[in-house]
Structure 1
């Protein structure tokens, strides 16, 4: 066969979300879109803030030559300066525009970082439950993903992380607020993790970077605070996008910043800049760079997600599902009433409810429910969730 054997294998491993999407499309044709409760996709439905449209229209009027030309691979310097100013206040560390690069979304940023850090066989530690694509991003650049489970509350298990670190470890990736659990790692745990990586790196004569993937940083509930990684960990890299806090996932605009005092900061930034070019990104979208530069203090109305979270948690709790209420992002990650999460998601599908089995995120026995969907659908899904739950009790 002409197709890569590796890609064929990847297609099988990464099929859960795509499979649920395709099953949902069939159900919507059969029953009507308003009769299918699709909680499978983390595709924000809250519209961008009004300021986005104002800035978009104003900038579109600018017909000065060169507005859409090539630029430095790292992005427009004045755009990076605007983001650096906001990050300096957010992270509690003075950041210069030269400490960061613009990227094609957080996914593009992670690939740029992996390309800059990894030689074949180098290892990256991922914490389960994890965003499904991390392993593929590591493999893209010859790396090896080492999966470490979090604890019972989806918090950092420092002992398990330490046991996974080797002389080949280049980085640990954290995602907080987390997709799929909604967990936010506390500052004390992050500080301890940074100290652990420093200690182990010194033992091996290497640097182990903490990479923090933060697209949900501004989507938090109950006054939860997301700790500033740069303030806590020196050898750290923070990356994010505007896909969630501005509801712009399709525009593919994000950034990546290196701690100003990180080891090998200059060579790392140089390598990331080169990676931006040779991976084919060349530079992040010029127009969107100019747009987001004007919106650094703006975000969506997160109270919409807060209401949905409260409604969903109430429904699931009343039925008997066990879960930790999310502190951020827009996902709930309940335990499935039976051990076989795929089978239980099939029961839900018979009730026209689409959920993603937890095994796709490295944590079987759970399911991910995305609540970026109108409250009306969440409310009307309650009988289906109860029917599936009751059927599972009889198995």
Structure 2
């Protein structure tokens, strides 16, 4: 008999992907330039020139076997050392290559981290709003997702709820900063408070509590600020990273888990992940892309366009009366819909060729996500369309 769990998942497809496919179909009818697709978080800027140069250099320098052959099960040692050195330079950490496990993007990193620090039946706590794919990541590891209710005013961590929800069944807390879908950035104060809470709760629970920090948007932070490095605040931290956003190379599917050297059983977690790979059919990412990212880590694409787009949309939406916590990073924002049913709001927006994503699946019912990783020119053309949509369908907002 076929697997019933995956059969059931067909009835709960990714709303993001469904809307992206709908936008693509609409684009074939009326032209892509006439569809204002804010559904999918697909970077809209090219990789830096150095990315192409490194690819060409490697293709000329190394043998086909080194470029395209199997890599060691725990990753290419040279690349692991390059990543560790980059983290140490940037964040004052003390990683070695032995603490780095290359993966197929942040999704692969989270899948390995979850399995490494939890047993089937354990609970993983996740602050809302959260990336909906955390659900299959967690359930696929045999763990149970428990959602920490959101703080809607700013989408920061709801510490009161978190403290109540940590029990002896808790294995880990999974956070995402900067956050998809809200753009919220957790401050140093918030990370210190989180660390202090977890240290205290570890003593009460009698076992380690791990912090899995999902950081693919680490470099996309606004207002001239930098992102506090989560592992610098809490020893039992596993950092999950992807080069997809920083280097605008999501299709290359390359990332890593960085195990804090001070972490409980740090020397065993990366070898364990190699064994986890055997069970989930991961078996190392691309050898070529590992080597490219090793040389390019610390570099970024031209990311300033996302802050430009954020400011344009934020000014228009707030002027129209939307409640929008101002993003501190990423290329997402999470406005409150002008009616209780955000899905109904998004369906009405489709009449104006505006594609937004209702945030029910993100743990934020009544809100909708805008992924503004599109050309600024298209954002500017979308603004009067958004205004016309609101004035025609929600005149009470325009009058207030």
TM class by shorter-chain length? Answer: over 0.9
What pairs up with 1:42-61 in 2 under 5 angstroms? 42-61=41-60
Alignment of 1:210 onto 2:211:
yes
2:314 alignment counterpart: 313
Q: How many residues align?
A: 394
| Structure 1, unaligned runs of 5 or more | none
Aligned equivalents of 2:196 and 2:285: distance in 1? 34
Q: CA deviation at 1:319?
A: 2.1
Q: CA deviation at 1:144?
A: 0.4
Task: Using the TM superposition, name which of 309-318 and 62-71 deviates more.
Answer: 62-71
Superposition RMSD on alpha carbons, in Å? 1.6
Q: CA deviation at 1:141?
A: 1.2
What pairs up with 1:1-395 in 2 under 5 angstroms? 3-64=2-63, 66-67=65-66, 68-151=68-151, 152-390=153-391, 391-393=393-395
Task: Using the TM superposition, name which of 348-357 and 217-226 deviates more.
Answer: 217-226
SS at match of 1:66: helix
SS at match of 2:61: coil
Specify whether residues 297 and 114 from structure 1 end up closer, same or farther in structure 2 by C-alpha distance, changes over 3 A only: closer
Q: CA deviation at 1:65?
A: 5.3
SS at match of 2:296: coil
**Deviation sequence 1:97-142 (CA, Å, 0-9, x none):** 1011111111001111122222221110111110111111011111
SS at match of 1:237: strand
SS at match of 2:184: coil
The answer to whether the 8 Å contact 2:221/2:330 transfers is yes
TM-score scaled by length of structure 1: 0.96
Q: CA deviation at 1:267?
A: 2.7
**Deviation sequence 1:356-377 (CA, Å, 0-9, x none):** 0011211011111111111121
Task: Using the TM superposition, name which of 4-13 and 50-59 deviates more.
Answer: 4-13
Q: CA deviation at 1:16?
A: 1.3
Q: CA deviation at 1:11?
A: 3.3
Q: CA deviation at 1:330?
A: 0.4
| Structure 2, unaligned runs of 5 or more | none
